Structure formats: structure tokens, C-alpha cells
Amino acid sequence: MAGTDRNRELITGGPAIILMEPQLGENIGMVARAMANFGLSNLRIVNPRDGWPNDKAVSAAAGASHVIEGAVVFDTLEAAMADLSFVYATTARPRDGHKPVAGPVEAGEALRARENAGQKTGLLFGRERIGLRNWEISLADEIVTFPVNPAYASLNIAQAVLLMSYEWMKSGLASPYETAFDKAQVTPAPKSDLHGLFAQIEEGLDARGYFRSATKRMKAVDNLRAVLTRPGFSTDEINVLRGLFASFDRFSRPGQRAPGQGAAPGTDEGEAE
């Protein structure tokens, strides 16, 4: 294939590319090709419509076999994000006022700084037809949006991945970007820890009748998760919060049902350290 030199060292690694319920194998293959062009290799797929492995994806990948062969399929978005400490959600427009919004250049440099600091990061991309749902965006830390024609803002999924992959590669060619992320900061916890905090808080709120209806519950949970993803809590900070909330359960007001949540992992009987 023109432009391919098998004698050169293959660049791999970088942020995880997470595809949420992609529909066409061809699109997955073109995503893999875009990733390989710019040194990315960690492809994660959540519930691909046509199953996996997929012959059409292999064909469309045009030789990016290392990306296709290394792709991992997940049943849920939470599982696909569980080991990551920072995730950008890509969308054509900001969905709410809770999350910071970055452009692709800024996001590429910030991801490079975090990866250089030893963090595991990811980029989340939505479905071909409807993109990402609000609750899916709420699980990410920040939003990336592209400066496109407002009258024709929709990007093909492979195009979106190509743009971000290019910015990732470009960020490694210049001097390190130090202002988006201070390496002296505490490393954010993996998403699995944050999801455990979500579950504990939501269970407690359910038990106390906080959610008045299913519709209000959905919006309230989206807002809660959006707020809690902003600080970039460390594992120790999440354990403190879980211990705090567990203590509320033990000392509920008379006649109020506590959900019976156990002690937070890493704390003594739920007490904050």
C-alpha cells in the first residue's frame, strides 16, 4: 500500500478510542486505519451492531491489522471506561453547562500531557446516526467539539477519529504541553471507582425518595454525574466521600430507611480517613 513502510518502527499506544454502538463494520475499519495513521492502537468497541469480529471492518482497515486484532468489545460503556482516569466525549455541540469544553488542539495537548504523566486516557465517540446520549456524555470528564460549519456540523465517525488522532500525533512533535495539566497533581482515580461512588449516592437517594419520577430521576442522575466528574477525584478522595456517605446511612433519622450500603473500599467501617 502506498505510503506504508514495513521497515520502520510501528508507533502504537496512546489514548483509548471508544466507539459507542457503531453500526457498520466498514466504519470501524476506517476508524482503525485513521488510528494507525497517527500512532494509536487501543480500540474499544461497545456493542457493535453487526457483531465482532467483522470481515468488513478488516477489509476497510486497509492493513491496520494490529488495531483490528487488538480491539476489545465491551457490553457496557462503564466497562469500557473502567480502567481510565480521564475521558473526553466528542460531540458536535456542548450539551450542558456542567462540563468544560475544549477544541481538538487543546484536547490533543492535554491528553499528551496526561499520558506522559502516566495516566490512562480515552476519547469517546458516538453512534453514526445519533451520536452520544446525554447520560453517556455525563460519564466523561470533558467535552471536545469541532469548529465546523454550523449548518452542516455532522462528521462521519472515522473523520472525527481522524481529526483527534492527528491532534494527538501533532502534540508529540512540539514541546510538551504543561499548562493544561500540572503533573504534580494527584492522579485521578480510574472510572470504576467513580462509578462505584455514583451507584452508592444514587442508591441512597432512591431509598430516601429523592427522585420523584422516572423522568426526573434520569435528568437528576445525568446532572449529578456531570458535576461529580469535574473535580478529577483521586482514589483516596473517592474513598473519603464513600465513607462519608456510608456514615449517613448508619445514622439515618428515625423512621427513614437506609439503603444498607457497606463501608467504602479502603476505609475502616466506612469512616473517612
Same domain, yes or no: 97 and 130: yes
pLDDT by position in tens, the chain (length 273): 455 556 567 788 899 999 999 999 999 999 999 999 999 999 999 999 999 999 999 999 998 999 999 999 999 999 999 999 999 999 876 555 678 899 999 999 999 999 999 999 999 999 988 899 999 999 999 999 988 888 887 789 999 999 999 999 998 874 444 444 444 456 788 999 989 988 988 888 888 888 888 888 888 888 888 888 877 788 888 888 888 788 876 655 545 454 444 444 444 433 333
Q: Report yes or no: 83 and 188 within 8 Å, Cβ to Cβ.
A: no
Same domain, yes or no: 201 and 162: no
Q: Domain ends where: 140, 171, 202?
A: 171
Domain contains 177? no
The residue type found at 87 is V
Beta-bridge partner residues of 72: 44
Same domain, yes or no: 109 and 158: yes
pLDDT at residue 255, as a whole number: 52
**The residue to which cell 469544553 is assigned:** 101
pLDDT at residue 94, as a whole number: 58
Same domain, yes or no: 27 and 145: yes
Collapsed DSSP state (helix, strand, coil) of residue 216: helix
- Count structural domains, the chain: 2
Domain contains 10? no
Same domain, yes or no: 167 and 46: yes
Domain contains 2? no
Q: Report yes or no: 81 and 229 within 8 Å, Cβ to Cβ.
A: no
What are residue 193's phi and psi, to 5 degrees?
-65, -40
Domain contains 132? yes
- CATH code of the domain covering residue 74: 3.40.1280.10
Domain contains 1? no
DSSP 167-208: HHHHHTTSS---SSS-TTSPPPPPHHHHHHHHHHHHHHHHHT
Same domain, yes or no: 154 and 216: no
Domain contains 75? yes
Same domain, yes or no: 165 and 197: no
Domain contains 3? no
Domain contains 240? yes
Q: Domain ends where: 112, 138, 171?
A: 171
Same domain, yes or no: 63 and 104: yes
Which domain does 42 fall in, by range? 16-171
Collapsed DSSP state (helix, strand, coil) of residue 268: strand
Same domain, yes or no: 199 and 68: no
Same domain, yes or no: 41 and 151: yes
Same domain, yes or no: 200 and 129: no
Same domain, yes or no: 62 and 130: yes
